[in-house]
Structures are given as C-alpha cells and as structure tokens.
C-alpha cells in the first residue's frame, strides 16, 4: 500500500515555494520528502518536523541548529543545506536531494562487504566528519541510516539534527540522545560527547560493514547499552575468518572503550584508515565475506529500535553504585556467539548474488563499490556544473587531469559537455579525467539588464556567457541609485561569448549641495541630511576666519551636484590664526595696503574730512601687536 497517499503534505505547496511530491522516510523528529523548488525548478529533499514537536522550543532550536551547522560545512561529502523556514505548524529544512540508497539498505540486502568496499565508503564519511570536527561540530548520531550513497557513486553524510559545538553540554541531566547500537561508553555513562564519540560510532559502522552484523545485540536497548559499557567491540575476524589483522586493529582503535585511546577526531582516524589500507594487499582488500548469515540467529535484523535515534533514560551516577544500577538495566546473560556461519549462497557465485540484490532492491549504481579489482567507472558528468563534476570524480576516487572549454548550443554555459574518458567508461582507480566545459553558444545576445541592481546584472551577463566590463555612473531621475541604466553595446546586440559589456549605473537623482560653511556642525549635518546626503566630519581641524567649532569648509563645495546617499565631508574651524601686524604708519596708502594684505589681512582706508593726504597717520591695530588672520585693519590718513 502506498502510505504517501495518506500524508497530508504530499501534493501540497509548502511556504508558497516547495511542491511536495513523495514521502521518502519517517524519523523520530521529522519526515523527509522529495520536493520541487518551484522558484528555481530543482528537485530537493524537504525535512519537515513533526507538527507535534514544532511547539517545543528545544526541538525547534535543534532543528534550526542543524540548518546553520550544515550550511557552514561546504564539503562534497556532506548533504548540502539550501533553506530553512516555517509554514504554519510545519517547520522545515530544504536540503540537497541524493537519489540512491542508504548504507543500511545495502547492508540489509548485501550483508558483509569486502574490505575494499567498506573502506571506499568509510573514507568519504570520515572526510565529511573531519570537516565538521575541524569546524567545531560533533555529529552525535553516526549510523548506516545517515550515510547516503547516490546512484552516481557519491557518498554523503546526512542528518546533522543532533549536531553540537565541541565543548558544549551535549545531553540533558537524565537522558541520552542517540542510537543505542552506536553510542560510545562515555555517552551512556556520563552523557558527554566530543569528536571521539563520532570516531567510536564510525568504528562500529566499519565493524558492521566488514561482518554484516552489529557488534552488540540484545532483546532490549538496555542490554545493548550494557554491552557497550562492559564489553569491547570484538575483532571482525572472529566473525569473518581471513580478515587481515590490520582491519581488526583499525576497529579496535576506533572503538576503544576509553576515549583517550581512540584517534582524537575523524581526520586522525582517516589518516589511520589510509595507512592501514596502504599496508593491505589486493588479496586482503578483496577478501570475500560469508554472505549467508543465519536470519534465525538474529545477526541481520530489519531496522528496529536499535537503529533509531532515541531519548534514553539515564540515572545520575552516584557514589558506591555500580554501572548496572546507574543505568537502571539488568545485566543480560552472557551472549552466545553462533558457531561459524555457513554460507548458504556459496554455490550461487558472487555475481549472481549481486544481480539478485540489484533486481530486488533496485538500488542501481548505488552499490558500485561492491565490484572487486582496481578499476572503477567514470561517473555521470554530462550536464553537471564543473564544481559538481569535480566532486563526483573525487568521490569516485578519480582526479581531474585538466579542464578544456568549448562552445556549445546544446549545453548550458559552465556545464560539462564531454569528458575523456567518457561517462561510464572503465578506468583505473585514482586515474585522471579531462573535462570539457561548455562556454555556451559562440554568439550570444546581450540581455536587457536595465533597472537591475549592479550585482544582479553582472550575474545575468555571466549566465548569458558575457563578461561585465567597466561600470560608469550617471545621474538619473528615473532609475534608482545602484541600478543599471543601460549597457554598451545596447541589449539585444549579438556579441561573441565571453565579450565584455560596459554598464552605466545610476547615481540617482542629482542633489544641489548647499553652502553650510559658518554653520555649527549640528546645523550643517541637519541641513545636509534633509537632502538625503550623508555627512562625515574630518578628524583634523583648520584655522579659518570662521569661529572655532563652526564649519570652515566643505567637500563637495556649494553648488556642486551630488547623488542621494553621497557623502559631504565637513572640516571644522579652530578659529583664525593670530599673526603679527606690521607697522605701516608713515607709509603711502597703497604701500600700506599691499603690506597688510600680503600678511593676510583685509584693509579699510579711513580719510578725515577734506583730507587729501596719502600718508598713513594711524592704524587700528598697532604695529607689533597680533590680530586674527583674515581680520580687517583700518588705516587712517593725515587730516588738514
């Protein structure tokens, strides 16, 4: 029965943007849907919190924290975060959609994996967690359900819903938050987590990939928790004879019961994994594990309570109380490991098994890593952006040899139009691929970007296959400040791809700058701000004829034209400079005027009634005294 028919969100438009198409999975906190972003016309995954939890501030905070944390992790092996929002009772995250399956799907149908395949999955997982750890985050819920394997072979880590910053409190006083099968001892006993807790979970996941079973099992979650506290993770070779000792050591190092004995973060574990891998032979990497694990032994159960993220009660530690009583769980009977498991598919052959799994599960290329040998296939690259294509090659263990560019009418600019070897071709591991990226059509039309903000216009030009040339600015009564008035050449003109297009950008309507010299700074600022001009006061003051504290000068000056939002710089006066006054008594009037003006004074000549003399008899400020520069000195001629 198709349960999506009963889901009220399927077929709805969430937040006026996201059209919900189908339900993908249901978890303890949220439901994940496949949806279409109608604004950008792309498929994405929509994680919607259960409405009953949306009223709980703690859960909403955790939900939003996931969005912010993942948004900071720009890593090819981390599921990308696009958006976060709410629509009524629905709080949602919009994320990258990865078409394929989870590691849990593969383990459930395939069982144990060859060591080469297990390490092929573990390495990108650790690369993703390493980026999170170095960014200061702890995942806290690593398990096969949160490892996505795309149809194109990409491996990505999902569900950072329990992420916390390193060094912050990571659980409430009386509960443990996580998935019981992957909890580290310190999470169970003390409720504390750090990067080493993620390392422990990765060690358990590696054990599960190598053996097809979890290291601890029980009838109740309490029994599993008890074993994590009291029993170490067994060596994988106990279940799969013939596994290399280096793999046993790798699992033992990652799952050490004491945190200090583990690698300190995922980056350190990744380094250890690569060193161990380099020491293994091809035969050891391609050891074929037994595939017929007895279902009646309970070693390969369907996903149940042990695979779900839970809030688990944890009693507080108390002096004199042993671990069993603190966790309020009985010690389970000593688990009896089944004798050597018989491979009931041995006669069918490996290839037949793989084909059967593909037919039943339909995971397609999601199980690409099961193949043996040192060859892989070039992932699907055509039509992908250059960045995505490089990420896919990296995830497939391949390098980019070089990137060529060519014109194409069929492929959008910036997308891969060809590769050498081509997509799907068989290629040696760690070999290199040449990408051919489209430059778009050879001749393109200049788009109409008039009225667009400058940054948006540049993006539209780039999308059309053109470059943004010099940007000049003009006043405009019609076009808002910062928006494009026109292009040069004009829109609609055809140009070669990658040609530069000049842009004319509006400075807004012109504003006549008023004269504010002589005003106080506050008065001048108010007058200029009324005209929507900004004001900056210069740090240095100058001597001037204006009173101290008033505006001595301005830039731009009176009468200049500025645009709304432009800045006028005001320079404040320290008052006039005091200078020595020369003695001009007895001098000819013209000579006296020249002497005083050369010193920086203004001169007023006063002649007594009926005086025809040109000789200075007196001056308003006596020679040798000081007067303000720019001030007026009055000279008086001799009378009758």
**In residues, how long is the chain?**
640
- 3-state helix/strand/coil string of 535-588: EEECCCCECCCCCCCEEEEEECCCCCEEECCCEEEEEEECCCCEEECCCCCCCE
User: Is residue 340 over pLDDT 50?
Assistant: no
Strand 426-428 to strand 467-474: parallel, antiparallel, or no bridges (unpaired)?
unpaired
User: Is residue 338 over pLDDT 60?
Assistant: no
- pLDDT-derived band at 549 (thresholds 50, 70, 90) equals very high
Q: Of 79, 97, 115, which one is at a domain's C-terminal end?
A: 97
Assigned domain for 498 exists? yes
> 11 and 27 in one domain?
yes
- Note the pLDDT tens digit of each residue in 191-218: 788 899 999 999 999 999 999 999 988 7
Percent of the chain at pLDDT > 70 equals 81
- Token readout for 397 is 């263990």
Assigned domain for 261 exists? yes
Question: How many angstroms separate the CA atoms of 387 and 382, rounded?
Answer: 12
Find out whether 113 and 210 touch, Cβ atoms under 8 Å: yes
With a CB cutoff of 8 Å and minimum separation 6, the contacts of 52 are none
- Note the pLDDT tens digit of each residue in 439-456: 877 788 899 999 999 999
Question: How many angstroms separate the CA atoms of 58 and 215, rounded?
Answer: 33
> 235 and 131 in one domain?
yes
Q: Of 97, 112, 138, which one is at a domain's C-terminal end?
A: 97
Mean pLDDT calculated for residue range 507-512: 89
Of residues 222 and 305, more confidently modeled: 222
Q: Domain containing 92 — which CATH number? A: 3.30.200.20
**Given this model, what pLDDT does residue 456 score?**
94
Nearest to 339 by CA among 241, 196, 473, 481: 241
Mean pLDDT of the chain: 81
User: Is residue 221 over pLDDT 90?
Assistant: no
**Given this model, what pLDDT does residue 498 score?**
76
Assigned domain for 290 exists? yes
**Given this model, what pLDDT does residue 374 score?**
62
> 273 and 156 in one domain?
yes
Alpha helices in 212-265 (DSSP H): 221-230, 245-254
Assigned domain for 52 exists? yes
- Token readout for 76 is 């090819």
Catalytic pick among 120, 141, 159, 587: 141
- Note the pLDDT tens digit of each residue in 50-81: 887 776 666 777 777 667 777 777 788 999 88
User: Is residue 300 over pLDDT 70?
Assistant: no
> 449 and 425 in one domain?
no
Of residues 396 and 247, more confidently modeled: 247
**Given this model, what pLDDT does residue 412 score?**
77
> 554 and 451 in one domain?
no
Query: Among this protein's residues, is 141 annotated catalytic?
Result: yes
> 499 and 524 in one domain?
no
**Given this model, what pLDDT does residue 370 score?**
39
User: Is residue 261 over pLDDT 50?
Assistant: yes
Question: How many angstroms separate the CA atoms of 573 and 543, rounded?
Answer: 6
- Token readout for 174 is 């009386």
Q: How many CA atoms lie within 13 A of 277 on its CB side?
A: 17
Nearest to 97 by CA among 29, 34, 175, 19: 34
Q: Domain containing 204 — which CATH number? A: 1.10.510.10
Assigned domain for 350 exists? no
Q: Domain containing 472 — which CATH number? A: 3.30.10.20
**Given this model, what pLDDT does residue 87 score?**
83
**Given this model, what pLDDT does residue 367 score?**
40
User: Is residue 90 over pLDDT 50?
Assistant: yes
Q: Of 47, 66, 97, which one is at a domain's C-terminal end?
A: 97
- pLDDT-derived band at 497 (thresholds 50, 70, 90) equals confident
**Given this model, what pLDDT does residue 37 score?**
94
Nearest to 66 by CA among 83, 41, 44: 83
Assigned domain for 87 exists? yes
> 270 and 168 in one domain?
yes
User: Is residue 343 over pLDDT 80?
Assistant: no
User: Is residue 318 over pLDDT 50?
Assistant: no
> 292 and 148 in one domain?
yes
Assigned domain for 413 exists? yes
> pTM of the prediction?
0.48
Nearest to 511 by CA among 535, 482, 483, 532: 532
- pLDDT-derived band at 329 (thresholds 50, 70, 90) equals very low
> 207 and 312 in one domain?
yes
- Note the pLDDT tens digit of each residue in 136-190: 888 888 999 999 998 888 899 988 754 444 444 333 334 444 578 888 888 887 7
Mean pLDDT calculated for residue range 513-540: 95
- By mean pLDDT, which of 129-143, 371-385, 490-504 is the weakest? 371-385
Mean pLDDT calculated for residue range 415-421: 87
> 171 and 27 in one domain?
no
CA distances from 598 to 464, 581, 603 (A): 65, 11, 11
Find out whether 116 and 285 touch, Cβ atoms under 8 Å: yes
Question: How many angstroms separate the CA atoms of 79 and 92, rounded?
Answer: 15
With a CB cutoff of 8 Å and minimum separation 6, the contacts of 319 are none
> 55 and 202 in one domain?
no
Assigned domain for 309 exists? yes
- By mean pLDDT, which of 107-111, 359-363, 518-522, 580-584 is the weakest? 359-363
**Given this model, what pLDDT does residue 305 score?**
46
- Token readout for 538 is 């210069």
Nearest to 474 by CA among 466, 484, 459, 489: 484
User: Is residue 344 over pLDDT 60?
Assistant: no
Of residues 128 and 383, more confidently modeled: 128
How many structural domains compose the chain?
Answer: 6
> 257 and 150 in one domain?
yes
Question: How many angstroms separate the CA atoms of 466 and 469, rounded?
Answer: 9
Q: Is 285 helix (H, G, I), strand (E, B) or coil?
A: helix
**Which residues of 411-461 form beta strands (DSSP E)?**
416-420, 426-428, 432-438, 443-445
Question: How many angstroms separate the CA atoms of 198 and 183, rounded?
Answer: 9
- By mean pLDDT, which of 150-159, 244-253, 329-338, 418-427 is the weakest? 329-338
Strand 416-420 to strand 432-438: parallel, antiparallel, or no bridges (unpaired)?
antiparallel
Q: By residue range, what is the domain housing residue 412?
A: 374-438
Mean pLDDT calculated for residue range 287-307: 51
């Amino acid at each position: 029965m198709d349960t999506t028919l009963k889901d009220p969100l399927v077929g709805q438009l969430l937040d006026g943007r996201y059209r919900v198409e189908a339900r993908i999975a249901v978890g303890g906190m949220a439901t994940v849907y496949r949806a279409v972003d109608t604004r950008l016309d792309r498929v994405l995954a929509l994680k919607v919190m259960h409405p009953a939890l949306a009223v709980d501030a703690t859960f909403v905070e955790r939900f939003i924290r996931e969005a912010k944390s993942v948004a900071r992790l720009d890593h090819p092996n981390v599921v990308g975060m696009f958006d976060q929002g709410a629509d009524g009772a629905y709080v949602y995250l919009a994320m990258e959609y990865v078409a394929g399956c989870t590691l849990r799907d593969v383990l459930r149908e395939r069982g144990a994996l060859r060591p080469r395949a297990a390490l092929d999955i573990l390495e990108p997982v650790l690369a993703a967690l390493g980026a999170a750890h170095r960014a200061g985050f702890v995942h806290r819920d690593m398990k096969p359900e949160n490892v996505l394997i795309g149809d194109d072979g990409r491996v990505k880590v999902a569900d950072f819903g329990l992420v916390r910053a390193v060094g912050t409190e990571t659980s409430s006083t009386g509960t443990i938050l996580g998935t019981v099968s992957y909890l580290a001892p310190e999470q169970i006993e003390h409720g504390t987590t750090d990067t080493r807790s993620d390392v422990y979970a990765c060690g358990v996941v590696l054990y599960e990939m190598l053996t097809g079973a979890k290291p601890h099992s029980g009838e109740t979650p309490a029994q599993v928790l008890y074993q994590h506290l009291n029993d170490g993770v067994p060596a994988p070779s106990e279940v799969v004879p013939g596994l290399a000792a280096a793999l046993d050591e790798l699992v033992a190092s990652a799952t050490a019961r004491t945190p200090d004995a583990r690698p300190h973060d995922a980056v350190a574990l990744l380094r250890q994994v690569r060193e161990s891998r380099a020491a293994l032979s091809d035969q050891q990497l391609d050891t074929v594990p037994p595939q017929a694990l007895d279902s009646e032994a309970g070693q390969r159960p369907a996903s149940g309570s042990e695979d779900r993220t839970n809030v688990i009660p944890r009693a507080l530690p108390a002096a004199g109380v042993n671990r069993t009583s603190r966790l309020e769980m009985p010690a389970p009977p000593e688990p009896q490991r089944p004798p050597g498991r018989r491979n009931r598919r041995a006669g069918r052959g490996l290839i037949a098994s793989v084909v059967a799994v593909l037919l039943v599960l339909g995971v397609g290329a999601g199980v690409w890593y099961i193949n043996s040998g040192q060859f892989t296939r070039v992932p699907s690259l055509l039509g992908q952006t250059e960045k995505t294509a490089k990420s896919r090659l990296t995830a497939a263990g391949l390098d980019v040899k070089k990137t060529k560019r060519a014109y194409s009418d069929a492929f959008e600019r910036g997308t891969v139009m060809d590769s050498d070897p081509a997509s799907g071709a068989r290629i040696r591991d760690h070999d290199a691929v040449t990408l051919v990226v489209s430059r778009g059509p050879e001749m393109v039309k200049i788009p109409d970007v008039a009225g667009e903000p400058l940054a948006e216009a540049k993006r539209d030009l780039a999308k059309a296959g053109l470059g943004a040339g010099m940007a000049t600015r003009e006043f405009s009564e019609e076009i808002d400040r910062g928006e494009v008035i026109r292009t040069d050449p004009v829109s609609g003109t055809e140009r070669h791809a990658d040609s530069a297009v000049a842009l004319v950008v509006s400075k807004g309507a012109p504003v006549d700058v008023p004269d504010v010299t002589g005003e106080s700074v506050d008065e001048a600022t108010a007058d200029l701000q009324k005209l929507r001009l900004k004001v900056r006061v210069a740090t240095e003051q100058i001597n001037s004829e204006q009173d101290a504290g008033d505006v001595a000068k301005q830039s731009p000056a009176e009468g200049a034209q500025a645009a709304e939002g432009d800045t006028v710089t005001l320079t404040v006066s320290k008052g006039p400079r005091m200078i020595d006054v020369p003695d001009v008594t007895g001098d000819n009037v013209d000579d006296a005027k020249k002497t005083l003006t050369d010193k920086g004074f203004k001169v007023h000549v006063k002649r007594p009634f009926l005086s025809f003399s040109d000789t200075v008899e007196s001056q308003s400020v006596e020679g040798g005294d000081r007067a303000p520069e720019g001030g007026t000195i009055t000279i008086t001629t001799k009378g009758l």
